[in-house]
Structure 1
């Protein structure tokens, strides 16, 4: 942590900045996994909606 003080003796604390890195584009396998997760999530939400309509 980096600390400074001004002429009145007031302290300022500054956090260390993390290193910057760039995200890597997902591989084909990861993209397929995201697609499967999206389809399953959509089916779950649609199923819950249908059940809700049927119950009410």
Structure 2
């Protein structure tokens, strides 16, 4: 662990910083998967709302 000693004998413990990297843009296949998941989520929520409306 990286400790530093300050005046008066106090120790400071610094966290280990994670490695920084640049994010990559999604591929065409990933974009299609996002669209499919979004449509599925909309259908699921719409179905749940329809059931809730029908029951009440």
TM over 0.5, shorter chain: yes
Task: Could you tell me which runs of 5 or more consecutive residues in structure 1 were left unpaired when the two chains were aligned.
Answer: none
When the two chains are superposed, the root-mean-square deviation of aligned CA atoms in Å is 0.9
Task: Could you tell me which runs of 5 or more consecutive residues in structure 2 were left unpaired when the two chains were aligned.
Answer: none
Q: How many residues align?
A: 56
Over 4 Å off, 4+ runs:
none
TM-score (norm 1): 0.90
Deviations 1:2-27 (A, max 9, x none): 11121222221101111110111000
TM-score (norm 2): 0.90
